[in-house]
Every structure is written in structure tokens, then in C-alpha cells.
Amino acid sequence: MPLIEIWSATPKTVLGMLLPAVVNIATNGNILKDGSEGSKDFRQYLTEIESGKLAEYATFCIENAFTDSGQVLQDVVNEIGRRLGFNAENGRYRGVRNDIGYDGIWTADGQSLVIEVKTTDAYTIKLDVIAKYRDRLVEENRIPQETPILIVIGRNDTSSLEAQVRGSRYAWSMRIVGIDALIKLMEVNLSTTSESVTEKIHTILRPFEYTRIDQIVDVVFTTAEDKENEIEIDDTDEKSVLVVGSNSLRQHATPQFTPKSIIELKKSQAIDRLNKKFTKVLIKKKNSLFSDRDDEVHAAVAISKKYTRAEDFYWYAYHEQQRKFLSESTMGLMVYGMSDTDIAFAIPYAKLEELRDKLNSTIREDGREYKHIFIHQKSKQYVLKLKGGDELGIDQYQI
């Protein structure tokens, strides 16, 4: 039975296997071959697993010698590239006469990187050979002129390779990154909603002059700023004013925040139900933003605790980052979950756009605006509260 069928039927079983066993199922006991069904199956599987599992697989390849460990690491690294926001093209597993032996091509915003993956730099790497692969890709118009090369190394000690690159004519066209650092960048990228953070991560993976470190500082600052903005979006109004219709209720009490572990669990549960409903596998692209591997279905997930005023309700912010993400897909779904129950709703982007002028909103001092979503339970029915006291039943969107 193909790996993807086993994975779809019993995902926990596959996730519990050691990596070599997973590869063995994909290849039916053979090696990974370019263009084979086993290779396609394995690569598809990698697109559907969580980023934490990718990191685990990368570490396993580095620490354990097994058949095709280098080829497997190559596929894992290319998938990490996709989680970093690149359009990643898989390269060849093995060199073939008259073919180009690159490991991957990562492209974003019209710029590319040629990827070379090595488990260790214990042996001298032939930089001229790697550069020739890049030059041939340029000649075939597959990448722009002056495309740099990013060498991804499994081991942390890369001093010999660094010296080799610095002393060569490729000092300004090649860069080195350890797999651990690449994984950290992936985690940073997935933890934010900011496209600016993604762009800055792409920048530091390309060669630039390191005497002045503004660009590196920029990544750290933008990431921290983005996290602060996310906190504001979720919590500001609970600390100040809640607007319901034309009434304002000022909150004087210290807000009680839901533990992050519960929020993440509820997000995961909601996405699992969405996957079953639409027979899709949605993977995190950014913090709370998910998509399938074909980029056709986008889902943004928000979790609310229960608020109690004159009646119980759940309260969410619907902001521009979510809106933009949902608009960039064939099917956009805004998923609203609840911290105290397993109930969740997947409301289509088109419906929220239809209701947009009827949603309450907040405009910040810096001009940023976001809408409020209020979900109330009335008897056994859930409704979306709108301006002027209007209501919309949403039970049809429950997942």
C-alpha cells in the first residue's frame, strides 16, 4: 500500500515510525529515485506533516546513518524552505551525465537561491562543481543572473567550510547556514503573521556585507514588534472598551487570559475537524494561518474564551492579515473556536465580506482597523451579532 494511503488512513501510526521505516514504505524497499512514485509519495508526505516533525527528521538524518539519509535530508530541507515562504523546487538525488546536479532552487519575490545540502563538512566540498551547477541553471534561464548559493550543513562546526568559502572567489556568492539555524528561522516565520518578517528572513539567507549588521537587527526587531501587535489585537479591547452595537462597556477588572497551550490545542483540534470535513491536509503557514499543499484552501483560526455580561458570548478580532490571507485562495475559511468547548465554526471569507459593513470595528491611533466578531449562544443555536441588533445564525458553518 502506498505511503500516502497509509498516512491518510492511520496518521498516528506513520508518525510513530522511525524515519527509515517511513522511507522504506514509500520506496517499497528500494532507494529513493528521481521521478519515482516512491519519491513523489515521500515528498507529498513531507508537505503534510507539522514543522516539528520536519525538524525531528532533519536531526535524525544528521545523527543517524541509513540508506538514503542524504537524499532524505535534501527533501526535508526543501520542505523547510517552503515553510520559510519560498517556492521550493526539488533537485536531483544523484548526479546524472548531462543533467544538473543541484539539490534545490528556492524562489521568492523574483529572486532565487540555489541550495546545496550536506550532512557534514568533514570532507572538502568542491565549490567549483556547485558553482557550475548554478551557472548551467542560469544558462537555461531557470534562475536569474548572479543567483547566490546557500549551502545547508548538518553539523554545527563549519569552520573549515567557512574558511574554504572565504578564501575562494565565491566569497560573495555563497553563504552557509546550519540546519539548526534554518529550523529556528522556520519556527520564527511560522510564529508570526507578518510578511515583513518572512521578507527579512529571505534577506539574511542571501549574501550581504556583514560589517554593518542592521539587516540582522531588523529581523529581530520586526519579529518582536509583530508579536507585540498580535498581543494587542487579541487583548487590547479586553483591557479597555468593548463595543457591542451602540453600547460601550468599560472593563475595570484585570483580564484573565487563556493559557497558550489551551489555545494551541483548540486550534489544532479545529484544523483536524476542518481536514476531515473537506478531505484536505492543512498545514501551518504562519501563526494561525493554514493552507493545503496546493494553496487552494486557506484557513485562519482564532480561539476565544467565554465572556459573561448580560449574556454569554465569544469575542474575536478579524484583522487585515487574516482577510488578505483568506482572499488569496479558492476557498477561504475563517475558523472560530472556543476555549471551553469543542465547538468551532468555519465561516467562508465571502460571507464575512458580505457582512463587513455590519461588523463593529476598532480603529487604532496608527490608523489600523480591525473588525469584531461576536458569537452568542441562544438556546441551542449560535448566532453572529451584527450592528443594530441584527443576528445571523451560523450553525450551518459548524465543523
Other beta carbons less than 10 A from residue 11's beta carbon: 15
How far does Cα 69 stand from its chain's mean position?
24
N- to C-terminal Cα separation, the chain: 30
The rounded percent of the chain whose pLDDT value lies above 90 is: 62
Phi and psi torsions of 245, nearest 5°: 65, -125
Over residues 336-365, the mean pLDDT reads 92
> For the domain bounded by 50-219, which CATH number is listed?
3.40.91.50
Query: pTM for this structure?
Result: 0.82
Give me the pLDDT at residue 368, please.
Answer: 78
List, in order, residues 6 or more apart from 376 with CB less than 8 Å away. Answer: 311, 312, 313, 314, 382, 383, 385, 391
The top-level CATH class assigned to 240-397 is alpha beta
**91 neighbors 130 (Cβ within 8 angstroms):** no
Cα separation, 58 vs 72, in Å, equals 8
Cα separation, 88 vs 303, in Å, equals 32
pLDDT in tens, 80-133: 999 999 999 999 998 777 788 899 999 998 999 999 999 876 666 889 999 999
Cα separation, 18 vs 5, in Å, equals 18
Cα separation, 399 vs 396, in Å, equals 9
How far does Cα 84 stand from its chain's mean position?
7
pLDDT in tens, 172-186: 899 999 999 999 999
pLDDT of 246 strictly over 60: no
How far does Cα 340 stand from its chain's mean position?
27
* Lowest pLDDT segment from 27-31, 141-145, 239-243: 239-243
Give me the pLDDT at residue 261, please.
Answer: 84
Q: Which residues belong to CATH 3.40.91.50 in the chain?
A: 50-219
Q: Which residues belong to CATH 3.40.1350 in the chain?
A: 240-397
pLDDT in tens, 289-301: 999 988 899 999 9
pLDDT band of residue 278 (cuts 50, 70, 90) is confident
* Lowest pLDDT segment from 14-28, 223-237, 292-306, 333-347: 223-237
Give me the pLDDT at residue 233, please.
Answer: 40
Q: Which residues pair with 374 in a beta bridge?
A: 315, 385
pLDDT in tens, 331-343: 999 999 999 999 9
Other beta carbons less than 10 A from residue 43's beta carbon: 17
Give me the pLDDT at residue 119, please.
Answer: 85
pLDDT of 238 strictly over 90: no
Give me the pLDDT at residue 251, please.
Answer: 43
